[in-house]
Amino acid sequence: MFWFLVLIVFIMAYHLYTIKYFKYWERKGVKQKSTYPPFGDAADTLIKGYPFSEAVMRIYNRFPNSRYTGFYQFSIAVLMLRDPDLIKQMYVKDYEHFLDHTQILSTDIDPMWNKNLFSLKGQKWKEMRSTLSPSFTSSKIRQMFVLMDKCAEYFMSNMTQTCEDLMEMDLKDVFTRYANDIIATTAFGIQIDSMKERDNEFYIRGRQTSDFTGFWKHIRLTLSVFIPPVGKIIKGAIFDDKVSTFFRKIIKQTLEYRQTHNIDRPDMLNLLMNARKEKEETKIKENSYSAVEEQLESKLFQKTKMDLSLEDITSQALFFFFAGFETVSSTLCFMAYELATNPDVQRTLIEEFDEFKSKNEEVTYEGLSKLRYFDMVLSETLRKWPVMNILERKCNKPYIIQPKFIDETPVHLTTDNSVWVPIWALHHDPKYWKMPEKFDPQRFSSENKEKIVPYTYMPFGVGPRNCIGSRFAIIEIKVIIYRLLTNFEIVPIKRSVIPIELNRNSFILNAKNGFWFGLKKRKASNNL
Burial (Cβ within 10 Å: 0-12, 13-18, ≥19) of residue 303: exposed
pLDDT of residue 216: 54
Q: Residue 353's closest CA among 339, 338, 333, 372?
A: 372
Give pLDDT, residue 222.
Answer: 62
Q: What is the CA radius of gyration of the chain?
A: 24
d(CA 319, CA 117): 8
This prediction has a pTM of: 0.86
DSSP secondary structure letters along 30-75: -------TTTBTTHHHHTS---HHHHHHHHHTSSTT-SEEEEEETT
> How far is C-alpha 447 from the geometric centre of its chain's CA atoms?
28
Q: In this structure, which amino acid lies at residue 146?
A: V
- pLDDT tens for the chain, 528 residues long, are 544 444 444 444 444 445 557 889 999 999 998 877 777 787 777 777 788 888 999 999 999 999 999 999 877 899 999 999 999 999 999 999 998 887 766 666 666 777 888 888 888 888 888 888 877 888 888 888 988 888 888 888 877 777 678 899 999 989 998 988 888 888 777 888 888 888 888 888 877 776 655 555 656 666 555 555 555 555 556 666 777 788 888 888 888 888 887 877 777 777 777 764 444 344 445 556 666 655 444 555 555 556 677 888 888 888 888 778 888 999 999 999 999 999 999 999 999 999 999 998 889 999 999 999 999 999 999 999 998 889 999 999 999 999 999 999 999 999 889 999 999 999 999 999 999 999 999 999 999 989 999 999 999 999 998 988 899 899 999 999 999 999 999 999 999 999 988 877 766 778 888 899 999 998 754 444
Closest CA to 338 of 470, 484, 459, 492: 492
Instruction: Give alpha helix (H) positions in 292-444.
Output: 310-341, 343-359, 365-369, 372-384, 423-427
464-468 long-range contacts (CB < 8 A, ≥24 apart) are 464/95, 464/99, 464/129, 464/295, 464/298, 464/300, 464/301, 465/95, 465/99, 465/101, 465/393, 466/292, 466/293, 466/295, 467/292, 467/323, 468/117, 468/129, 468/132, 468/133, 468/136
Predicted pLDDT of residue 308: 75
In this prediction, residue 431 carries a pLDDT of 96
Which parts are annotated binding residues? 467
Residues comprising the binding site for heme? 467
Could you tell me which residues come within 8 angstroms of residue 69 by beta carbon, excluding any fewer than 6 positions away? 25, 30, 31, 32, 59, 60, 62, 63, 79, 80, 82
The full set of domain ranges for the chain reads 2-521
According to CATH, what is the number of the domain 2-521? Answer: 1.10.630.10
> What are the DSSP calls for 145-185, one per residue?
HHHHHHHHHHHHHHHHT---SEEEEEHHHHHHHHHHHHHHH
